[in-house]
Amino acid sequence: MRSDLVSTRGVSRMIGDRQVDAATAPRRVDAASAWEYVECNLCGGDATRPVATQRGLGIVRCRACGLVYVNPRPPAGELTALYADYHGRDGQDESSWDRLMSRVFREAAELLCSTRTASGRARLLDVGCGFGGFIDLMRQRGWDAEGVDPAPSAVEVATRRGRAVRLGTLEGFPAERGPYDAVTMFYVLEHLPDPMGALRKVFDLLVPGGTLLVRVPHTTPIVRLLAPLGLGGELYDPPFHLYDFTPAVLQEMLRRTGFRAARTFPGQPTIPARLGPRLAAAFFGAVATGLHAATRGSVLLPGVSKSTLARKPLR
């Protein structure tokens, strides 16, 4: 099998006959199809070391820059198909997503309003907006907010509720819709096949001085912690998640894109519906925030989600 995996710098190779455990493979990933070998999205390197194998997919870490990613991975068409009912996973619906994200959204709204310096009606694009809960919140605060999401079922609900949401990907988003004063990406970047391309697109969509707010999970430290106990087998959630970022790696991606003054902080945790994950999120969120505050921002607890705020330079 691995003999099919030819790693050649600058060339993406298609991989065949990869074995997938049918019992654990997510729906609609076609195990028989060719998988795509990709190089490091940040530095272009292809020297990696294995981190884990989850749901039959290998997760590797770039030896040069530290980016963690799924490799090889299902081709783009299959990845897009995964999002047909993404927001309905585990019986979730609009109200459960709103509740899950409520503290994250509230904090982001306050942050964007307080850091806005220009006058006039501000424009916001929420990338991967799902049902559009954040768009509603920002409209209530006087922003001209809109969103884009590749999940038809979520966009249908958002549109029915009068939210300005476009069905599609950031990649296909029309540049002439910009510029925006702020772009938000809550738990989105880890899903995208080309996060550097996505950040470049966002950079182009922003006004000079515009703000980007990114929130991503950080799974690798938890996997390292749990692996010796035989736990954490699906924590990376591949192939929904294709990447895992340390704060340093994400900041480097932003710097290379042209963003400046990137600041990473723990931020408010999500509120999962199930009690165990909810208590864990609240506990580790509080520890992360406390540690960050007690060390005046110098310590970020590994393994919990974090937000990063970055600015496009004025010129």
Residues that bind Zn ion (CB under 5 A): 40, 42-43, 45, 62, 64-65, 67
For residue 249, the minimal CB distance to Zn ion (Å) is 8
How far is residue 60 from each of residues 51, 100, 187, 235, 244, measured CA to CA in Å?
5, 29, 20, 14, 10
For residue 251, the minimal CB distance to Zn ion (Å) is 14
Residue 198 or 281 with smaller CB distance to Zn ion: 198
Taking residue 187's Cβ as centre, other Cβ atoms within 10 Å add up to 18
The packing angle between helices 133-140 and 94-115, to 10°, is 40
Residue 45 or 272 with smaller CB distance to Zn ion: 45
Establish whether the linkage from the previous residue to 72 is cis, with ω within 30° of 0: yes
**What is the separation of C-alpha 70 from the centre of its chain, rounded to a whole number of angstroms?**
14
CA distance 56 to 221: 20
For residue 40, the minimal CB distance to Zn ion (Å) is 3
Determine contact, residues 244/236, Cβ cutoff 8 Å: yes
Residue 26 or 197 with smaller CB distance to Zn ion: 197
Residue 26 or 45 with smaller CB distance to Zn ion: 45
Residue 71 or 219 with smaller CB distance to Zn ion: 71
Determine contact, residues 269/282, Cβ cutoff 8 Å: yes
For residue 39, the minimal CB distance to Zn ion (Å) is 8
Residue 20 or 65 with smaller CB distance to Zn ion: 65
Residue 65 or 167 with smaller CB distance to Zn ion: 65
Residue 146 or 244 with smaller CB distance to Zn ion: 244
Measured on CA atoms in the order 283, 66, 256, 130, is the torsion positive or negative?
A: negative
For residue 254, the minimal CB distance to Zn ion (Å) is 15
For residue 10, the minimal CB distance to Zn ion (Å) is 14
Rg (CA), the chain: 19
CA distance 85 to 129: 14
- In 3-state terms the chain splits into helix, strand, coil percentages (rounded to 5) of 35, 20, 40
For residue 70, the minimal CB distance to Zn ion (Å) is 14
Residues pairing with 244 in the sheet: 68
CA distance 180 to 214: 15
For residue 71, the minimal CB distance to Zn ion (Å) is 11
